[in-house]
Amino acid sequence: MEMCLGRGSADPNVDGMSEDVVLGPVVHLGDHVVRAGTCSWTDKTLLKDSDWYPRRTMTAAERLGFYAARFPLVEVDSTYYAPPSERTTSLWAGRSPDGFEFNVKAYSLLTGHPTRTASLWSDLRDGVLPEHRDQDRIYATHLAPEVLEEAWRRFLAGLSPLREAGRLRALLFQYPPWFHPRRDTRAELERLPERLGGVQAMVEFRSPRWTSTPRDRERTFALLESLELAYVCVDAPPASELPRVLAVTHEPAILRCHGRSDEAWKRVGGSAAERFRYLYDEDELHELADSARQLAERAGETHVLMNNCYRDYGVRNAARLIELIGSA
């Protein structure tokens, strides 16, 4: 097994992007590639409550360049709360080095979650059904069907600069706990490939019913394979009731790590960072590295993403995982 870096040095010029800013380490296990990273590079607690970035006065371009020189992959979670503009995603593409990949979390409206009405495009708010227009939060079912389809189109259009630059690897669809296996939810999954027009989708279930029993897993994985959707393996606290199942239904194989704190997982209110406040210890990181290697045996490309983005917990754990995955 061999671990290699992208072109050039892993140390960026923190004064801004340059030709010398290069890709963080990519792990090669024979013909298999493993990329590791975190689910944010701009979390407030990382910026304000840690010294991982060398200066707090760094520009947005400098921070992304600094991150990308240490990790070849990032997941963008801000897109769950509000759809990005083409200008924003164009900046992300221009500030990241060749070979860097973005996984983007789908807008909450598109995955059945409650969504802030104010986050919807202003001209589409008239498409909210009259009985829901005064609500602070809406669901997809509160929109006229043609307005919902336009929301899908605009969300994907906002990502077009990343796609055109070859930086968009996949879209993450994280479905809520009430998205149980039923005829209507399976139909929703079946519509994804057509809606995405060639963009790879990853599916993370928060309902344990999709994978609780061998029969559940067989049916779920057969559906995802037939649709070429990538199943998201999760490492989560026992309180989540999510089974720890390693499976590959399409590439990239993916493992998302949410920490193992029941107390944090159950916390009501507060920031997302507080909910995933957990620092994996050395033994746990060895477990995760072993899981990543098992996935890599079944896929040409594997992603490992740390969602414990509290202060520098995620970046510390991700850096150590890269070392462990690449070691014999």
Quick: pLDDT tens for 61-79: 999 999 999 999 999 999 9
Quick one: average pLDDT of 40-64?
Answer: 94
Q: Which residues pair with 254 in a beta bridge?
A: 232, 303
Q: Provide the pLDDT for residue 22.
A: 81
- For residues 124 and 49, give the distance between their C-alpha atoms in angstroms, rounded to a whole number: 38
Q: Provide the pLDDT for residue 271.
A: 76
Q: Provide the pLDDT for residue 20.
A: 60
Which pLDDT band holds residue 274 (cuts at 50, 70, 90)?
Answer: confident
Q: Provide the pLDDT for residue 10.
A: 40
Quick one: average pLDDT of 269-282?
Answer: 86
Question: What is the per-residue pLDDT across 1-10, written as a single tens digit (0 to 9) for each?
Answer: 334 433 333 4
pLDDT at 155 over 50: yes
Q: Provide the pLDDT for residue 235.
A: 97
Quick one: average pLDDT of 279-295?
Answer: 98
Q: Outline where the chain has alpha helix (H).
A: 44-48, 60-68, 78-81, 86-95, 145-158, 160-164, 183-196, 214-227, 262-266, 272-275, 282-296, 313-326
What average pLDDT does the structure give for the chain?
A: 92
Which pLDDT band holds residue 16 (cuts at 50, 70, 90)?
Answer: very low
Q: Provide the pLDDT for residue 158.
A: 98
Q: Which residues pair with 49 in a beta bridge?
A: none
pLDDT at 15 over 50: no
Burial status of residue 327 (CB atoms within 10 A of its CB: 0-12, 13-18, 19 or more): exposed
> How far apart, in Å, do the first and last CA atoms of the chain sit?
6
- For residues 225 and 185, give the distance between their C-alpha atoms in angstroms, rounded to a whole number: 16
Query: For the chain, what percent of residues have pLDDT higher than 90?
Result: 88
Helix (H) or strand (E) holding 178: none
pLDDT at 132 over 80: yes
Quick one: average pLDDT of 134-146?
Answer: 96
Q: Provide the pLDDT for residue 186.
A: 98
Give the total residue count for the chain: 328
Cβ proximity of 134 and 107 under 8 Å: no
Question: What is the per-residue pLDDT across 185-234, written as a single tens digit (0 to 9) for each?
Answer: 999 999 999 999 999 999 999 999 999 999 999 999 999 999 999 999 99
Quick one: average pLDDT of 176-183?
Answer: 97
Quick one: average pLDDT of 266-289?
Answer: 89
pLDDT at 17 over 70: no
